[in-house]
Chain A
Amino acid sequence: MTLSKSIRFAIFGAMALTVAACQTNNQSQVVLSKKSPVELRAMQARAFETSDQNKTLRTVIATFQDLGYGIDKVEPAAGTVSATKLAKLRMTATVYPRGPSRMIVRSNALVMNPGMESQVDDPEFYKDLFFEPLSKAMFLTALELGSEEDVPPVPDAASKTTAKP
């Protein structure tokens, strides 16, 4: 009797913990990925062999529409577009030239919950559910970026310490 009671108590306690576990992020409005900038860049950016920024942006918009997103905002001068699917998933994409014959498309996805937005950091999501359809619509291969391209500025403490007089 006492054993079953204590088990019941343990299960109840665990359930309370389960509920609490899901609420840890409630304070922060946007929950950003904990992955490194380099990892994020690798999954979120691709290069296309074209020099036509307008056409690339149009194709990004058409791809969003094909995937069931509605467009929220477009700024052709800045090469950005943001779109939302079913009030739940928001994507922002930026198209910018790199060199004379390449366009880089960088995307970022957020899952929208009341009071909380969480950054999506699964490489499969970006590959299968954005860059593959985009690449088909572009009739071009989505190229992974080389290590020398488009490296976001990473605060690098090591470079300071290794600098020798």
Chain B
Amino acid sequence: MRVHIGLAAAILAAGMLSACQTMNDVAKTVGKPPEKALEMRALQTRRFDSENEKLLLEAGTQTLQDLGFTISEASSDVGVVVASKQRNAEEGGQVAAQIGLTIAMALLGVANNPTWDQEQTIRVTFIANPVSGGRQTEVRTTFDRILVNNHGHAWKAELLMEPQLYQEFFEKLSASAFLEAHKI
């Protein structure tokens, strides 16, 4: 009997530890560099044959505005433009699946609160930097998004990695700046 109680206590202790994951652990997990950091850098970075960083910042701002983003922060001193936009993220399939699940669970006598993505905030960080020793400017753009569910809670956040998204952005940027974008 004692062994059983000891075992139960050990399991409980383990449960307590996992339940109270410290904020330092959360920070170390979230703070890790992205898995495909190199691939991501190549995807998000282009070089332009111009030393005119301001021109690229202006072109970047215009491109973002053309795409429906609102500028939330800008500083030409350090070559930063930040913008965001909100969009509907509801997908018929996801909603139907969630409602189906709720009905199935109700038949089994379990209450389920259907949850689906309702809205997303897409955020862009656009940075321009002079390339040291060259007559070029390097531009890096990062898109990420935060999904808000139908209960109004932010519940998912992710970096956007679709190559097409970045490709299209840089095409528009080069057209706006009248410059050719070189991959690194």
Contact = CB atoms under 8 A, between A and B. Distances in A.
A129 B31 contact: yes
B107 interface: no
Contact of B82 (A72, A120, A133): A72
What secondary structure prevails in chain A residues at the interface with B? mixed
A77 B31 CA distance: 27
Nearest to B126: A71
A67 interface: yes
Given A22-B20, A86-B158, A71 B73 contact: yes
A68 B33 contact: yes
Contacts of B33: 66-68, 129, 133
Contact of B26 (A75, A111, A114): A111
Contacts of B75: 74-76
A70 B125 contact: yes
Interface in A114-133: 114, 118-122, 124-125, 129-130, 133
Given A22-B19, A54-B78, A58-B129, A68 B34 contact: yes
B154 to A, nearest CB: 6
What secondary structure prevails in chain B residues at the interface with A? mixed
10 contacts: A18-B15, A71-B82, A86-B30, A87-B146, A89-B26, A111-B30, A114-B153, A129-B28, A129-B33, A130-B31
Interface of B: 1, 5, 8, 12, 15-16, 19-20, 23-24, 26-28, 30-34, 37, 40-41, 73, 75, 77-80, 82, 123-125, 127, 129, 140, 142, 144, 146, 153-154, 157-159
Interface residues of A, number: 47
A72 B73 contact: yes
B142 A65 contact: yes
B125 A67 contact: no
A103 interface: no
Given A18-B16, A21-B16, A22-B20, A62 B129 contact: yes
A81 B12 CA distance: 43
A85 interface: yes
Nearest to A89: B30
A66 B5 CA distance: 50
A31 B77 CA distance: 33
